[in-house]
């Protein structure tokens, strides 16, 4: 069982990668087959874990089925068997690096590296030049990717931002400083929220983080009301908020943002109840909310990791007790090894409903299961029967066109569908209402609409123009 002690002294962060993982004592506890999967798959997808995750979160008596092991260690089934075998032969036979690179690149491009139009539609342009470290999908929210925050304390095996970490430079979002961000925000008074994201911005030391955040406190950016930071450090390295040498400075920075009249919202990425069982993880939550910041809990539902509703219910209940706010259960995105991790939408709805029914009203701030799809965030509200037809009831929680939000719509029930573009409109209609309207609003980055097509067609048209 994981150890649950709170360190009283400062603990040094110790990461492990493909090059160093064999030095960890736990490596000897893994079978040759599991070790091989790490060595092979980590050529395609990023692999990084750390000593805290390995010592305190993974139950090594239960590998490979332990949820946090699955969350951070690659598994051979993440690639189709023939593809895995071919890559394994190249890697283990120490083939020419060009041959390995060629195969790795072809696998990565098959994996839909930038889903939901991130590169084609979300990147804002000034004088027709893209602002590389920004995304502006929804009218009121801008995403900012600080370059120093484009890594994480450990990598999730399902990561939807995996191209950020594997050297695909032409597919990476990052910005070295905030000049362009500030100038963009000055000219967009309807933007109220800035989300610092990555990777994990909390990988930065407090001084670097302050250099990115403090410019947003300027009087001319009074329209920026909410500063959000997306972070997994609350689970992978809660010491960041408690015992790191600049943890107290970090708390002072949070207090400064709050004192400036902004809402500072940490968007905490949690995947499993075990991540919030350790005293230090709980202490991190208390310290964050003690500064006046808010901490919202969100994460995707993933096969092999968190399909158990009881885990979600425990996570939300513990979080609420500590002062956090349950926010989103996402549907696993259609990128990376999604065939390995995806659950049917029907199953996702069952898990959400079961977890939701186990918790008190204070935890029912959570929304889900929600797909961050090309047109917006679509939630599965339920399964209904109308005129004898079994249907999914859906609505947008967020949309490229604000007029679409909260408009109910229906799709034919499909027990196997795992994503929005697998669904067919109900009542004999040819298109969903948002496909008929085809209006992104005038804040869309490229101002054109990609119709929702079957996955294989959509991926080709969605990714290649900007990836070339």
- Residue 44 binds ligand SF4, judged by CB under 6 A: no
> Looking at 192-200, 212-220, 255-263, 413-421, which segment touches ligand SF4 (CB under 6 A)?
192-200
Site for ligand SF4 in 159-188 (CB under 6 A): 159, 161
Omega before 235 within 30 of 0, i.e. cis: no
Strands (E), 302-388: 325-331, 367-372, 376-386
Nearest approach, Cβ of residue 309 and ligand SF4 (Å): 22
Q: Restricting to residues 264-303, which ones interact with ligand SF4 according to CB under 6 A? A: 269
The pattern of x and - marking residues 52 through 91 that bind ligand SF4 according to CB under 6 A reads: ----------------------------------------
Q: Which residues pair with 142 in a beta bridge?
A: 194
What are the tokens at 422? 């697998």
Based on CB atoms, which residue is closest to ligand SF4, 200 or 314? 200
Tokens of 291: 């500064």
Binding to ligand SF4 by CB under 6 A, coded x per residue (else -) over 218-247, reads --------------x---------------
Q: Which of 84, 144, 145, 155 binds ligand SF4 (CB under 6 A)?
A: 155
Yes or no: say if 326 and 319 are a contact pair by the CB < 8 Å rule.
Answer: yes
Of the listed pieces 21-29, 152-160, 207-215, 456-464, which binds ligand SF4 according to CB under 6 A? 152-160
> Binder to ligand SF4 among 149, 199, 238, 376 (CB under 6 A)?
199
Q: Which stretch binds ligand SF4 (CB under 6 A): 118-126, 179-187, 198-206, 329-337?
A: 198-206
Which range of residues in 5-13, 154-162, 284-292, 322-330 is near ligand SF4 by CB under 6 A? 154-162
Strand partners, 347: none
φ/ψ region of 406 (left if φ > 0, alpha if ψ in -120 to 50, else beta) reads left
Which of 198, 375 has the CB closer to ligand SF4?
Answer: 198
CB of 103 to ligand SF4, least distance (A): 23
Report the nearest approach of ligand SF4 to the CB of residue 374 (Å): 19
| Cα–Cα dist 94/72, whole Å | 25
**418-to-108, 397, 422 alpha-carbon distances in Å:** 20, 18, 7
Q: Are strands 389-399 and 409-412 parallel, antiparallel or unpaired?
A: antiparallel
Find the part of the chain contacting ligand SF4 (CB under 6 A) among 19-27, 119-127, 155-163, 446-454.
155-163
304 interacts with ligand SF4 by CB under 6 A: no
Cβ of residue 359: shortest distance to ligand SF4, in angstroms? Answer: 24
End-to-end CA distance of the chain: 48
Q: Is the peptide bond before 258 cis (omega within 30 degrees of 0)?
A: no
Query: Least CB distance from residue 366 to ligand SF4, whole Å?
Result: 18
Integer Cα distance of 47 and 314 in angstroms: 28
Residue number with CB closer to ligand SF4 (156 or 273): 156
Task: Single out the residue of 108, 359, 52 nearest to residue 235, CA to CA.
Answer: 52
For 26, half-sphere exposure in the C-beta direction (CA atoms, 13 angstrom radius) is 22
Decide whether 90 or 159 has the Cβ nearer to ligand SF4. 159
- Told to check if 202 binds ligand SF4 by CB under 6 A, we report no
Among 200, 334, 421, 462, binds ligand SF4 (CB under 6 A): 200
Stretch that binds ligand SF4, among 23-31, 195-203, 332-340, 369-377 (CB under 6 A): 195-203
Instruction: Kindly report whether the peptide bond that precedes residue 68 is cis, defined as omega within 30 degrees of 0.
Output: no
**131, 156, 181, 331: which one contacts ligand SF4 (CB under 6 A)?**
156
Q: Which is nearer to ligand SF4, 269 or 303 (CB)?
A: 269
Q: How many CA atoms lie within 13 A of 139 on its CB side?
A: 13
Question: % helix / strand / coil in the chain, to the nearest 5?
Answer: 40, 20, 40
394: β partners: 380, 409
The continuous run of DSSP H or E covering 83 comes out as helix 81-92
| Nearer of residues 152 and 295 to ligand SF4, judged by Cβ | 152
Query: Is the distance from CB of 300 to CB of 271 less than 8 angstroms?
Result: yes
Interface residues toward ligand SF4, by CB under 6 A: 152, 155-156, 159, 161, 198-200, 232, 269
């Amino acid at each position: 069982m994981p150890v649950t002690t709170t360190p009283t002294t400062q603990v040094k962060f110790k990461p492990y990668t493909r090059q160093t993982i064999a030095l960890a004592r736990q490596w000897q506890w893994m079978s040759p087959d599991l070790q091989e999967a790490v060595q092979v798959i980590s050529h395609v997808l990023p692999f990084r874990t750390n000593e805290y995750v390995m010592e305190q979160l993974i139950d090594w008596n239960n590998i490979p089925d332990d949820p946090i092991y699955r969350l951070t260690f690659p598994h051979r089934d993440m690639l189709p068997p023939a593809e895995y075998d071919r890559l394994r032969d190249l890697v283990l036979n120490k083939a020419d690096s060009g041959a390995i690179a060629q195969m790795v690149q072809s696998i990565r491009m098959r994996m839909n590296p930038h889903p939901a139009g991130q590169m084609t539609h979300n990147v804002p342009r000034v004088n027709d030049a893209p602002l590389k470290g920004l995304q502006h999908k929804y009218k009121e929210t801008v995403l900012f990717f600080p370059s120093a925050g484009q890594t994480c304390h450990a990598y999730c095996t399902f990561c939807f931002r995996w191209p950020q970490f594997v050297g695909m430079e032409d597919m990476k979002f990052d910005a070295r400083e905030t000049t362009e961000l500030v100038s963009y925000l000055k000219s967009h008074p309807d933007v109220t929220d800035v989300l610092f994201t990555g990777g994990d911005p909390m990988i930065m030391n407090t001084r670097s983080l302050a250099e990115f955040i403090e410019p947003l406190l300027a009087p001319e950016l009074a329209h920026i009301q909410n500063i959000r930071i997306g972070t997994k450090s609350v689970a992978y390295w809660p010491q960041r908020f408690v015992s790191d040498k600049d943890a107290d400075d970090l708390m002072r920075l949070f207090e400064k943002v709050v004192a400036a009249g902004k809402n500072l919202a940490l968007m905490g990425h949690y995947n499993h109840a075990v991540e919030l069982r350790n005293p230090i993880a709980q202490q991190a939550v208390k310290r964050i909310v003690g500064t006046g910041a808010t901490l919202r809990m969100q994460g995707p539902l993933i096969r092999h990791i968190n399909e158990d509703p009881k885990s979600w219910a425990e996570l939300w209940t513990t979080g609420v007790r500590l002062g956090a706010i349950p926010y989103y259960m996402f549907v696993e995105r259609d990128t990376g090894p999604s065939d390995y991790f995806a659950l049917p939408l029907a199953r996702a709805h069952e898990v959400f409903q079961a977890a939701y029914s186990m918790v008190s009203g204070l935890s029912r701030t959570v929304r889900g299961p929600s797909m961050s799809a090309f047109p917006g965030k679509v939630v599965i509200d339920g399964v209904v029967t109308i005129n004898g037809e079994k249907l999914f009831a859906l609505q947008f929680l967020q949309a490229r066109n604000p007029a679409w939000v909260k408009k109910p719509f229906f799709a034919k029930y499909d027990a196997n569908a795992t994503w929005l573009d697998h669904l067919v409109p109900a009542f004999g209609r040819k298109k969903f209402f948002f496909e008929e309207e085809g209006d992104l609003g005038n804040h869309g980055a490229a101002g054109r609409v990609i119709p929702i097509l079957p996955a294989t067609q959509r991926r080709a048209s969605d990714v290649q123009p900007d990836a070339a």
